Structure 1
Amino acid sequence: MAIRIGIFGYGNLGKGTECAVRQNPDLELAAIFTRRDPASISPMTEGVPVVAASEVADWAGKIDVMILCGGSATDLPVQTPELARWFNLVDSFDTHAKIPEHFAAVDAAASAAGTTALISGGWDPGLFSLNRVYAEAILPQGGTYTFWGKGVSQGHSDAIRRIEGVADARQYTVPVPEALERVRAGQRPTLTTRQKHTRECYVAAKPGADLARIEQEIKTMPNYFADYDTTVTFVSLEQLHAEHSGLPHGGSVLRSGLTGWNEEHTATVEYSLKLDSNPEFTASVLAACARAVSRMHAAGQTGCKTILDVPPALLSPLSGEELRRQLL
C-alpha cells in the first residue's frame, strides 16, 4: 500500500515535492494544502485535491506523512509544531543556529500527539550533516569544512523577501576559492565564516522603497548575512526574473584528517553536490525522509527526529535483502 503524502505549501519546494512523489512508486500524493486561494492552484498531478490550509486538521488520518514546504524564517517555526499535533511530517528547517530550539518545540508537540516528525531534512542540513558525522567518526584527528555554492539559497532569498519594501530577491552563496583549495590540499587552516564564503544579493525593490534601509537590514540580519561579506545589487523586477530565474546550488563537505601511529599520513574525505535545481533535489531528499518517517512511526517511534536518527536502510524503497545484494 502506497504511503499517502500531503504537501503543505506549493511554492518551488512544494512543486519539487510533487515531482519527487511521482518518481517514487511507493508514495502517492493525497492532497496539496495552500494558504492561497485553492482555485488558483493548478497541480501537475491529475485529480489531486487542493485544500485551503485552514482546513488541514480535517485531513488527520487521511495523510500518512505531511511534507512541509514553507520557509525557515517565519513559516516552519510555527507550522511544524502545529501540524505535528495531527500528522507525521517532514520539514526542511535550515537555520542551523536555531535547530536545537526548533527540535525542542517539535518534539514536545509530536511526543504529546504520538506522531513522528523529522526536521531539517534536505541536503544541508541533511545529507551534508550525515557526511560530517561519518567523516569525523572515522577521522577523529582533523578538521571539517563545509562550502556551499555557488548557488541560490532558497532560505536566504526568502528571508530577504520578508523585508519591507522588497518585491523579489535572489541570494547567491559563493565559496572563497582560495579557502577551498587550501582545504583540498590538506592544510587544515583555521577559517572564519567570513573567510569561507561571500553572499551576493540581487534585490528588486517596490516603488518608493528605501533602498539604503533595505541594504542595511540585509547586511545586518543575524544568522543569515551579518557574519559574511555581503554585496547587495538592486535590479528591476524584469531584470531579476530574466537573469536570475534559475535555482542552481551545490557544495562540498571535506574532512582532512590524520592516520598512522604518529599521525604522519593525511586522509581527505570529500562529498560534493552540483544541482541544476536546489528545490527539486531538496524535495527528493524530503520524499525519502517521508518514507523513513512512515516506517519509524509504524515501528512505534514517536517524537522529533533528524536524519542523524534514521538508519540508512529506512530511506530506501529496497528491502534489506536487496540492499545487501545490490548496494553493500
Structure 2
Amino acid sequence: MIKVAIIGYGNLGRGVERAIKQNQDMVLVGIFTRRAPETVETEGGQAFTMDQLKSKKNEIDVCILCGGSATDLPTQTPEWTHLFNTIDSFDTHAKIPEHFAKVDQVAKENQTTSIISTGWDPGLFSLNRLYAQSILPDGETNTFWGKGVSQGHSDALRRIDGVVDAVQYTIPNNEVIEKLKAGETLQLTTRDKHFRECFVVLEDERDSQRIREEIISMPNYFADYDTEVHFISQAELNQNHKAMPHGGTVLHTGTTHENTKQVIEYKLQLESNPEFTASVLVAYARACVRLAKEKQFGAYTVLDIAPKYLSDRTDEELRKELL
C-alpha cells in the first residue's frame, strides 16, 4: 500500500482525500493543516498539526501538497522535499522553471523525489501540447480555458488585503476557437483568447477602487487580460458562485503532405475542478513513489513520466487491455 499524507485541507485537499478512497493501492496516513486539527471536518481522515508531520516521516511514502501557488507552494514544496517525496500543483506557468530548479536541488541533495506542476494545466494539457507539436510540427497550438472557476486565480484574489472571499471565472473566446478549427491563421495575443471575470467580497467597501486596481494590474494573473471585477455580498457569492466547474481545450492545427489540414483537439469538461485536479495528483503520487523506489531522485514534471507509472495495473495488463 502507498501511504499518503495530505498537506493543506481546502477544496483540493478534500478532493485528494476522496480520490485516495478510489485507489485500492493507497491509504491515507493523515491530513496536516495549519488550523487547529479539532476544527477541521474531514471525510474520515485524521487531522494533525503541521508540527506533527516530521514525526510521521517513517509512516509516509509521499506527501501531496494542496496549498496555493501564489504564496504556499513556492516555500512549502522545497521545505517538505527535504524530508519527503512530494507532489504539487504549482500552476504559475511563468515561474515553473524557477520553481523546478529550486525543488530539484533540494530533492537531489536529500535523495527524495518530487513531481511538480501536476494537474490538468499545467499537467495533462502540457502532455497534449507536446504530443500534438511532435506529431504535427508544421502547425500551431492554442490552449483555451473555461468557462470555469480557476482555483489559482481565485486564491490570488483572496490573498489581497481587504478581500474576504472571491471567485474568478476564466471565459474562452469561442469565436476564435471556431475560426482556428476552420483553418484560419490568426495572430493571437493573450488578451484575444480569454476574458476574466471576478466576483469579490470586500471587508470594507471603501477599499473597492484600490482593490480593483490591484486585481487588474496583478502580474501573471490578470494584467495581460481584459478583466471585469464585480463587488458582491458574501450571501450572493455563497448562493451563485460556490460550484467549481472548469475545463478547457488544447487545439493544434497543422498540415502534412501538400498542405493537407489536420486538427488535434483535446477537451475537458469538469463539474468539479478541485476533484479532477486531485485525481491527477493522486495518480502522479503513485508514479512519484515508484520513481523514488528506483532511486530516481530529483524534481520531475509530467513531461518526464512514463504513462505506465500512473497505473496500478501491471505492464502485461496494460499491453493486453489498452494497446
| Normalised TM-score (structure 1) | 0.97
Q: Which residue of 1 aligns with 2:322?
A: 327
Per the alignment, residue 83 of structure 1 pairs with 80
1:200-253 CA-partner distances (Å, limit 9, x unpaired) = 000010135410000000000000000000000000011011000100000000
Structure 2: state its 5+ residue gaps: none
CA contact (8 A) 1:165 1:209 kept: no
TM superposition shift of 1:177: 1.5
- Which of residues 167, 171, 191 in structure 2 aligns to 1:170? 167
Q: Deviations over 1:113-165 (max 9, x none)?
A: 10000000000000000000000000000100000000000000000000011
CA distance in 1, matches of 2:100, 2:60: 22
In the alignment, does 2:33 pair up with 1:38? no
Aligned AA (1:297): A
Name the stretch that deviates more: 243-252 or 174-183. Answer: 174-183
1:232 aligns with 2:225: no
**Match of 1:205, as an amino acid?**
L
Partner of 1:112: 109
1:125 to 2:128 alignment: no
Distance 2:183 2:165 in 1: 40
Alignment-mate amino acid for residue 286 of structure 1: L
Residue number in structure 2 paired with 1:12 = 11
Equivalence map 1:166-315=2 (5 Å): 166-260=163-257, 262=258, 264-315=259-310
Size of the aligned set, in residue pairs, is 323
The corresponding residue for 1:50 is: 47
Q: Does structure 1 residue 151 correspond to structure 2 residue 148?
A: yes
- Equivalents in 2 of 1:315, 1:130: separation in Å? 14
Q: Could you say if the C-alpha distance between residues 265 and 120 of structure 1 is closer, same or farther in structure 2, counting changes exceeding 3 Å?
A: same
Read off the aligned partner of 1:276 and give its amino acid letter.
E
Structure 1: which amino acid aligns with 2:23? N
Residue type of the partner of 1:11?
G
* 1:60 partner SS: helix
> Mean Cα displacement is larger for which, 221-230 or 60-69?
60-69
| Structure-2 separation of matches of 1:86 and 1:255 | 41
Which amino acid is 1:274 matched to? Q
Residue identity in the other structure for 2:20: V
Structure 1 stretches of 4+ with a deviation exceeding 3 A read none
- Equivalent-residue separation in structure 1 for 2:206 and 2:159 (angstroms): 14
Deviation at 1:54, TM superposition (A): 2.3
* Structure 2 letter corresponding to 1:101: E
**One of 44, 51, 70 as aligned partner of 1:73:** 70
Return the alpha-carbon distance in structure 2 between the equivalents of residues 20 and 231 of structure 1: 34
Question: Could you list the runs of 5+ residues in structure 1 that have no partner in the other structure?
Answer: none
Whole-Å separation in 1 of the counterparts to 2:48 and 2:55: 10
Aligned residue identity for 1:314: Y
Query: What does the per-residue CA deviation read over 1:80-109, in whole Å, with 9 as the maximum and x for residues that have no partner?
Result: 000000100100000000000000110111
| CA distance in 1: counterparts of 2:93 and 2:180, whole angstroms | 22
Superimposed CA distance per residue, residues 29-53 of structure 1 (whole angstroms, 9 cap, x where no aligned partner): 01100000011112212xx331101
Name the CA distance, whole Å, in 1 between partners of 2:122 and 2:25.
Answer: 25
The residue type equivalent to 1:128 in the other structure is F
CA offset digits 1:11-66 (Å, max 9, x no partner): 00000000000000011101100000011112212xx3311012221121211010
Alignment partner, residue 23 of structure 2: 24
Q: 2:134 aligned to 117, 134, 137, which one?
A: 137
Q: Distance in 2 between matches of 1:188 and 1:304?
A: 37
